[in-house]
Each structure stands twice: as C-alpha cells, then as structure tokens.
Amino acid sequence: MTDASKEGNGRASGTPPRSSWPLFEVFLRGKRGLNHVHVGSLHAADAEMALHHARDLYTRRNEGVSIWVVRAADITASSPEEKDPFFAPSGDKVYRHPTFYEIPDSVPHI
Amino acid sequence: MTGPGSWHAAGPGRYGTDAAGPVDGEFTDTADLEREFEETIARDRRIEPRDWMPDAYRKTMIRQIAQHAHSEIIGMQPEGNWVTRAPSLRRKAILLAKVQDEAGHGLYLYSAAETLGADREDLTNRLITGAQKYSSIFNYPTLTFADVGVIGWLVDGAAICNQVPLCRSSYGPYARAMIRICKEESFHQRQGYELLLTMMHGTGAQQEMVQDATNRWWWPSLMMFGPPDAQSPNTEQSMRWRVKRHTNDELRQRFVDMTVPQAEALGVTLPDPRLRWNDTRGHYDFGDVDWDEFKRVVSGNGPCNAQRIANRRAAHSGGAWVREAAAAHAAKRTEAAA
C-alpha cells in the first residue's frame, strides 16, 4: 500500500476505517419555490444515515424543507477551468442574449 | 507529495470521473497555472477545490482548516462539562444547543478540509496523536457556571473577531463554512452575555463568580489572536494569499475596543491596570500578554491539555464499534438489495 496518509495511524488491522463510510454531498431546498443548493458534505454508512446526518448538521435552524444526498463518487463533473473548451460552444453565440438585438427606443414593452 | 487518492480532491472518489476535462499537463505548464492562480486571487475571486493551486497554498489551507476544525471539536469539552449541572432546564437546553453547534462547526470545517484532499480519519488521528494543534484557549478549565457565560462572551467574541474576515477567505469552501459558522456564533455570544447579565443581577456571590471567571479568561482570550505580528512569520504570505485579512495585532486591538464597553455595561473589571482609552490613537491601550504562558500551553503544558486529548481519544475508540456496525449493516443491506 503506497498511500502515505494511511500509514502510521495505529489502526488495528481488520478494523474498517471511518473513511470507509462513503462521502455524500448534501443539497438543501431552503423553502418552497427555490432550487436545491449544495451546502456541503458528510460521511455516512448509507444514504438513509446520510439524510439523518444532513438534517442534524445542516438544518438545525430550519434552513431546509427538503434534502437530497448523493454519493460524491456518483457525481460526474466538468473540468473546473473557466477557459475550458468544454464551455466554448456557448462562448461565441452572443445572439442567444436579448442585448444582441437593437430595437428603437420608441418601441414599447420589448 | 503523498500517494494517490489522498491529497487530490480532484481524484476519483470525490466527483467521480471528469467527463470532458483535460489530462494533467495537456494544456499548460506550471508557470501559466501559477499566474492564473495569482490572478484569481488578485481579482478577489475564490479558489475552488478542483482548481490548480500551489502545494504550499494547499498545505497551508489544510493546516489552517484542520486546526480550526479540531478547535471546534475540542471546544465542546469545556462547556460540555456543565451540561449535566446547568442551573435550570432553560440554561441546559441552551448549553446543549451550543455544544451541538460546536460539533456542527467542526464537521463543516472537516468537510471543507476534505475538499483539499485531506482524509477524515487521518485528520482525527492527527488530533489525537498531537500531530496537529487546536486553539490553546480550550486547555483552560471551566471552574464555575459563570465560566459558561464568560466563554460565550469573551471566547466566542474573540472567535467572531477572528472569523468574520475569514468569510472572505480566498478558499471558497472555507469561506462558505465560515459564513454559516458566523451566523451561529452570534447566538453563542449573546447567550453568554445574557447569562452573565442575569448573574450580575443576582447575589454578591454570583457577581464575584462572574468577576473571577472574567479574570481567568481575559488574558487567554487575547492570546486567541496568536503571537504579536513581529513574531508571526506566516502572516505575510497568508495575507498575500488572502487566507488572512488582518494581522493578529489588528484583530486583538479590535476585540479590546469592542469588549471594554461591554464589560462596563456588565459591571465587571477587566484585569489589566494598563487598560485605558488613548485619544491620540483612537483605541484602548492595554498591557502585555504573557507570551511565555501562551507558549507553555500551546506546547502541551496547559492545565487541561492531557485531559482534552484523552477524552477525544476515548470518544473515538469508544465509538469504533458503532462505526463498524453501521458499515456492516449498510453492506448487508446492499447485498440483500442486489
């Protein structure tokens, strides 16, 4: 095993490490009418426990009316680079924005 | 630096695989990456987990966030000491909620540290083996119930001074955790001050308890801002990276200026004969902090260091069977479902 972080931590062999509880990302709907928003992450043995932990950790003051938890490993992410070619298709399509079109000031309600 | 899967947040296990990301080294060299990192910081934008960042920045952030998380976790103990002996159901419910918040703050912060590739189990081990530190303030004992109030007032007050600027830390997940924490700290400080006001309206003995607790916690609270600027070698780099927004001495002064009128309103004396308003500076002057004591406590020789770590260690090993049982139960249910 080459993983340096796992060495020398005195863990008894055969004991499942705490980190064997997978990581879950937590999303909260703050109130009706709003989207779920990512608020953080936590470890839990399974999804049901993750929901309970998320309630205790992220909604102690009525911050949410609905919680989603999802295993971090199940998320597929784009690369974080802002200049990533992945986002290039929308970069040169200014005509998708309303400000692209010139309309005389005299025309109302448009 | 370390092995695979341990220090990269971008590695598998955190966000699965990159659907469309470039492979390392594919599109730019380190100098470009470094310039982009510096530019992001200069524009006061946030660094996010999967961005390229210098190793030193990653290490500094992991250390800072981990120490902060450890402080919250150990910080449950001084006040937890009074949960079973709170003088009323109201005070007990408040104290429980406060201690629970401290646990929550620790967890928000561990979660932020993990976005940098730190491993939770490893962080816990570093705490209980003394490889990583926590705030020295939690190595002082809570001798009377007035200490609960003074901790809320002074210790959480100092923490707020330290933490409000961290809501603008350049590292996104840390800044977001700090915003959440600061909202909750306000309750902590106010419940403490209200507790002390109640005691100051009580008997002479209760008033003396408040004064005594203030005497014991005042100087350690000033130490919470860290050594004087001249002896704080990391400050300059941390300010450049915007992981720190003010120097230790600036924050300490701000705390003193905020606290003196609160002490007056409460009717207690802060234990510093040199404390007086300086009209020219527009600030309160105050006496010298005993930095030798600070060094003693930080290096492990405070009144409660051993006890705090022993308790944390016992809680961790005592909970091992619960973690194992839950993991076994989850595995069994996954098998049954398959």
Amino acid letter, residue B179 = I
- List the Cα angle A84/A85/A90 in 5-degree steps: 105
Partner A contacted by B14 (CB < 8 A) = yes
Residues of A engaging B, defined by a Cβ cutoff of 8 Å: 2-6, 9-11, 15-21, 23, 40-43, 45-46, 49, 56-57, 60-61, 72-81, 84, 86
Q: In angstroms, what CA-CA distances link B283 with B224, B264, B331?
A: 19, 16, 61
Sorted by sequence, the CB contacts under 8 Å of residue B51 that are 6+ apart come out as A80, B37, B40
- Give the per-residue pLDDT at B12: 39
For residue B231, the distance in angstroms to the closest alpha carbon of chain A comes to 31
Mean pLDDT, to the nearest integer, of A100-106?
Answer: 93
Q: In the structure encoding, which two tokens stand for residue B154, read together? A: 């002074």
Tokens coding B144: 């009377």
Of A11-25, A87-101, B160-174, the least confident: A11-25
How far apart CA B294 and CA B133 sit, in angstroms, is 13
Q: What is the mean pLDDT of chain A?
A: 81
Contact B121 A18 (CB under 8 A): yes
Distances (CA, A) of B162 to B133, B140, B157, B174, B178: 17, 20, 9, 14, 10
Find the closest chain A residue to B110 by CA distance.
Answer: A42
Residues ≥6 apart with Cβ < 8 Å to B63: B132
Which residue of chain B is at minimal alpha-carbon distance from A84? B21
B236 inside 8 A of chain A by CB: no
pLDDT score, position A85? 75
* Cβ <8 Å between A5 and B7: yes
- Using 50, 70 and 90 to split pLDDT, how confident is the model at A19? very low
- pLDDT surpassing 90 at residue A92: no
Residue A78's pLDDT is 82
B50 touches chain A (CB under 8 A): yes
Structure tokens that stand for B228 in this block: 């004087």
Name the residue with tokens 């937590």.
Answer: A26
pLDDT tens over chain B, length 338 residues: 333 333 334 443 455 444 444 445 455 688 989 999 999 999 999 999 989 999 999 999 999 999 999 999 999 999 999 999 999 999 999 999 999 999 999 999 999 999 999 999 999 999 999 999 999 999 999 999 999 999 999 999 999 999 999 999 999 999 999 999 999 998 999 999 999 999 999 999 999 999 999 999 999 999 999 999 999 888 888 999 999 899 999 999 999 999 999 999 999 999 999 999 999 999 999 999 999 999 999 999 999 999 999 999 999 999 999 999 999 999 999 889 88
- The pLDDT value recorded for residue A8 is 33
Stated pTM of the model = 0.87
Chain A residue closest to B49 (CA)? Answer: A80
Q: Which residues pair with B45 in a beta bridge?
A: none
B104:A60 CB<8 A = yes
Choose, out of A3, A5, A37, the residue to mutate when testing the contact with B (most B CBs < 10 Å).
A5
> What is the pLDDT, as a whole number, of residue A7?
31
Give the lowest-confidence range in A18-27, A96-105, B142-151, B284-293: A18-27
CB B160 within 8 A of CB B186: yes
Beta strands in A9-110 (DSSP E): 23-29, 36-43, 66-71
**Would you say residue A61 has pLDDT above 50?**
yes
Residue B281 identity: R
Q: Buried (b) or exposed (e) across B78-95, using 16+ Cβ within 10 A?
A: bbbbbeeebeeeebeebb
Residues within 8 A of A (CB atoms), B 129-148 only? 129
How far is A21 from A27, CA to CA, in rounded Å?
19
Count residue pairs from A and B with Cβ separation < 8 A: 124
Q: How close does chain B come to A77, measured CA to CA in Å?
A: 5
